[in-house]
Structure 1
Amino acid sequence: MTAPSEPTDASAPSPGSPNGPGTLAWRNAVFAVFFISGLGLASWVARIPAVRDSLRLDTALVGVLIFGLSAGSVLGLVVAVRLLARFGAPRAMTISVATSSIGLVVVGAGATLLESAPVVFAGLAAVGLGMGSLDVMMNVEGAAAERAIRKTLMPLMHACFSLGTVVGALLGAAASALSVSVFWHLTAIAVLVFLIAVVAVRSIPELENTAETSAPGEPASTWRSRLRASLSVWADPGVLLIGAIVLGMTFAEGSANDWIALASVDGHGFSNTAGAIVFGVFVAAMTVGRVIGGPVIDRFGRVPVLRACAVIGVLGLLLFILAPNDFALYAGTVLWGVGASLGFPVGMSAAADDTRNSAARVSAVAMIGYFAFLVGPPVLGLLGQNWGILNALYLIVALMALAGLAAPAARERHRR
């Protein structure tokens, strides 16, 4: 899953005409950053079963390890604005990618060379810190490039992230099949991700006021007014209902990222390689859902699409949990991925509909979404330890059903 940027009123200066080479290079650079973000995340996820085996951990302790990634990601969201303000987007992005790349190397070393769970936890915290801050930066740049080009590009940017997760999952499955150690696999990915970032950020322009801006309609916002605006939206029932949509869908997406490979191995008897392939199928379904989601929403509207996604996701999860054979498991994985694909981006769009206070609304909904990423892994780990990992997934079924019930809160303003 990717973090949203806070909408701003400032019109970012364009490095050229909407279709000029400078602007298109900027767009392509943002595409590349989204891609490597997904690649780095999926490379770790695909090797979770191998790390578990190497460290001889139970399910609950795997959840604790994954919590390190989630906690680092939340901290990254906090520091991203300061990094942007101090260093500018190109340098701040390079710092974030370098942090996550070092973290991947530490994870590999802790899993393979040192066989130390605390070292892996520390590495995952660094991975989360880098990726969390990069999440904010790439969405800020994506929104600015979209305004400069005057075309809707954010869905494709998020699809690039999903494409990166597909490639990462496939490379992880190949590394597992070829018995490549976690250390050498993650080290190679870390170097690749960093080199791509260094090349890509050269095409990202230095823009002013991309990091700290006031909410729409606020002329010169002070920290007190920003705090009041941020707190006031929590009393808005509409924001909380949109948050319920994002909570359910984000929990479904993040839980699959963290647990679907291990659930396939421990719950259905798959090999580690086959578990990585199942994860690849899930992220491929997510990618397809995001690529086709925009036109489908334009045709039918947010509410019917969100309800359909909730139904599809629930059916997919039940099929995955109860799968009597491999075909049913893969079919359930596809439905699970498609069902979870649009909840987060649609929730962000719905939160930004009210332009009077869109920044605070988007921030609040995003915080609810990241709460799912933060608490989901350890909660499922504890449930899985006591009742089995497949039975733990019924919690996701309930939350996706809740998201479907809350879908009317995301209705477009012109359709109300």
Structure 2
Amino acid sequence: MGLPRHVHRLAVGTLFFLQGLCFASWASRIPSLQQRLGLGEAALGLALLALPAGSMTSLAFSGWLVAREGSARVVLGALGLYAGALVGIGLVGSLGGLLGVLFVFGLAGNLVNIAVNTQAVGVEALYGRSVMGSFHGLWSLAGFCAAAVGTAMMGWGVAPLPHFVGMAGLLLVGLAASARFILPDGPGRHPAGRVLSLPDRSLWGLGLMAFCSMICEGAMFDWSGVYFERVVRAPPDWVGTGYAAFMGAMATGRFVADGLTRRLGLTRVFQLSGALIAGGLLLAVLVPRLGAALGGFLLVGCGVSSVVPLVYGAAGRSQKVPAGVALAAVSTIGFLGFLLGPPVIGLVAEALSLRGSFTLVACMGLGVAVVGTLRREA
């Protein structure tokens, strides 16, 4: 007799939480690493390119690996590799070393992303309704927790290495505790070549909205601390508060996204989300003071909170392709924005300024509202 479905949901939710904890631990210490390695904006942007490079490399085989070994086995191994790479980031002492470790970090992260979302699709099938929002809410909640820890570590003067070792140990303990309770899908359950199939025409609008929204998320994850340090000129103890405000708002918003959509409708939520993203970023750009920037980052967190879960839910209801295939395809397009946006922001910041690059990101927020409206009209 199989385990109750809520047990599987709790275990898979734990994996989402651990994934978010690992990534946000790195993101919260980017200013510390930039300072320790003496990197300028362009050099940091170059280092961040290693993340999408690793992710794109894994795209060539991650779907095949899930098909061959099953998502349960892949997600456990990939999360272990993710934790090891986090420790490696704390050990590096040069730009070259950072490039190499971030490549592995990006590769492991995308393996986790494909496998854990495949697990989530399986849990949705058990419930017969969308529960994707709650999973992504746990990912965001983990980011908020990791941001708070990172802010405290910077305030106390703790180096990245002991911080990352502690987080990796916590991740491995959580992984061991939940391993027995995730969905036991075996090899061959997910057809090879389908998990990462490109979406059909009806899903391109959803993919584009995810792409725009996740560019904004990536900017917040990788550049919020730098923005508060270089532009807002926040005191050292407050450098991480913008990231924490963003993550707190995003985590809260994801837990209420489904109810809000029932009241306003999908199109209006996309329009509202895009307006909040653009408005929040422009507030932080036009009034680069601590209070205004914190308020702006809160608005951005509220704006991006519902976009990806609702896009995934809409993709899962596609009438033209199976739900799992649609979810994996749209998430892949969105994840490209998440990974490619931050390095581009670094290059734009070097050529213009960080405020100029954040203005560009605000345009991506407007893109969510525009594409959501055009998709409804179509």
Q: Please, what TM-score do these two structures have when normalized by structure 2?
A: 0.92
Structure 2 residue corresponding to 1:107, chosen from 65, 79, 89: 89
Q: 8 Å contact 2:55–2:108 — kept in the other structure?
A: yes
Are residues 30 and 78 of structure 1, via their aligned partners in 2, closer, same or farther at CA, if it must alter by over 3 Å? farther
Which residue number corresponds to residue 48 of structure 2? Answer: 66
Any unmatched runs of 5+ in structure 2?
none
Deviation at 1:242, TM superposition (A): 2.7
Deviation at 1:200, TM superposition (A): 0.9
Are residues 339 and 210 of structure 1, via their aligned partners in 2, closer, same or farther at CA, if it must alter by over 3 Å? farther
Once the two structures are overlaid, the 10-residue window that deviates more, 344-353 or 152-161, is 344-353
Q: Does 1:175 align with 2:153?
A: yes
SS class of match (2:61): helix
Q: 8 Å contact 1:106–1:119 — kept in the other structure?
A: no
Moved over 6 A (4+): none
Which residue number corresponds to residue 36 of structure 2? Answer: 54
Which residue number corresponds to residue 390 of structure 1? Answer: 355
Structure 1 residue corresponding to 2:23, chosen from 41, 65, 68: 41
Are residues 349 and 408 of structure 1, via their aligned partners in 2, closer, same or farther at CA, if it must alter by over 3 Å? farther
d(CA) in 2 for partners of 1:90 and 1:354? 25
Q: Does 1:243 align with 2:178?
A: no
Which residue number corresponds to residue 10 of structure 1? Answer: none
Which residue number corresponds to residue 311 of structure 2? Answer: 347
Deviation at 1:231, TM superposition (A): 6.2
Deviation at 1:288, TM superposition (A): 1.0
Are residues 232 and 94 of structure 1, via their aligned partners in 2, closer, same or farther at CA, if it must alter by over 3 Å? closer
d(CA) in 2 for partners of 1:40 and 1:27? 20
Which residue number corresponds to residue 104 of structure 2? Answer: 126
Q: What are the Cα deviations for residues 163-186 of structure 1, in whole angstroms up to 9, with x where unaligned?
A: 110111111111111111111111
Are residues 390 and 301 of structure 1, via their aligned partners in 2, closer, same or farther at CA, if it must alter by over 3 Å? same
Counterpart AA for 2:50: G
Which residue number corresponds to residue 69 of structure 2? Answer: 87
Which residue number corresponds to residue 273 of structure 2? Answer: 309
d(CA) in 1 for partners of 2:284 and 2:257? 23
Are residues 271 and 71 of structure 1, via their aligned partners in 2, closer, same or farther at CA, if it must alter by over 3 Å? farther
Which residue number corresponds to residue 15 of structure 1? Answer: 2
Structure 1 residue corresponding to 2:260, chosen from 286, 293, 296: 296
Q: How does 1:141-220 map to 2 (within 5 A)?
A: 141-208=119-186, 212-213=190-191
d(CA) in 2 for partners of 1:205 and 1:231? 25
d(CA) in 1 for partners of 2:116 and 2:276? 30
Q: 8 Å contact 1:96–1:134 — kept in the other structure?
A: yes
Q: 8 Å contact 2:117–2:328 — kept in the other structure?
A: no
Q: What are the Cα deviations for residues 189-240 of structure 1, in whole angstroms up to 9, with x where unaligned?
A: 11211221122111124224675238xxxxxxxx6xx69x95682xx3x433
Counterpart AA for 1:15: G
Which residue number corresponds to residue 219 of structure 1? Answer: none
d(CA) in 2 for partners of 1:289 and 1:60? 33
d(CA) in 2 for partners of 1:232 and 1:384? 33
Which residue number corresponds to residue 407 of structure 1? Answer: 372
d(CA) in 1 for partners of 2:327 and 2:181? 28
Deviation at 1:353, TM superposition (A): 3.4
d(CA) in 1 for partners of 2:98 and 2:335? 22
Counterpart AA for 1:167: C
Any unmatched runs of 5+ in structure 1?
1-13, 215-222
Q: 8 Å contact 2:218–2:339 — kept in the other structure?
A: no
Are residues 310 and 293 of structure 1, via their aligned partners in 2, closer, same or farther at CA, if it must alter by over 3 Å? same
d(CA) in 1 for partners of 2:244 and 2:228? 12
d(CA) in 2 for partners of 1:324 and 1:261? 13
Are residues 256 and 211 of structure 1, via their aligned partners in 2, closer, same or farther at CA, if it must alter by over 3 Å? farther
Q: Please, what TM-score do these two structures have when normalized by structure 1?
A: 0.84
Q: 8 Å contact 1:102–1:126 — kept in the other structure?
A: no
Q: What are the Cα deviations for residues 320-365 of structure 1, in whole angstroms up to 9, with x where unaligned?
A: 1122532111110100111111222222233343322246654543
Once the two structures are overlaid, the 10-residue window that deviates more, 321-330 or 154-163, is 321-330
SS class of match (1:406): helix
Counterpart AA for 2:34: R
d(CA) in 1 for partners of 2:60 and 2:7? 29
d(CA) in 2 for partners of 1:192 and 1:353? 36
d(CA) in 1 for partners of 2:247 and 2:325? 30
Counterpart AA for 1:194: L
Number of residue equivalences: 377
d(CA) in 2 for partners of 1:410 and 1:400? 16
Are residues 78 and 295 of structure 1, via their aligned partners in 2, closer, same or farther at CA, if it must alter by over 3 Å? farther
Structure 1 residue corresponding to 2:331, chosen from 366, 385, 397: 366
Deviation at 1:247, TM superposition (A): 2.1
Are residues 86 and 232 of structure 1, via their aligned partners in 2, closer, same or farther at CA, if it must alter by over 3 Å? closer
Deviation at 1:254, TM superposition (A): 1.3
Once the two structures are overlaid, the 10-residue window that deviates more, 92-101 or 158-167, is 92-101
d(CA) in 1 for partners of 2:81 and 2:15? 14
Once the two structures are overlaid, the 10-residue window that deviates more, 289-298 or 399-408, is 399-408
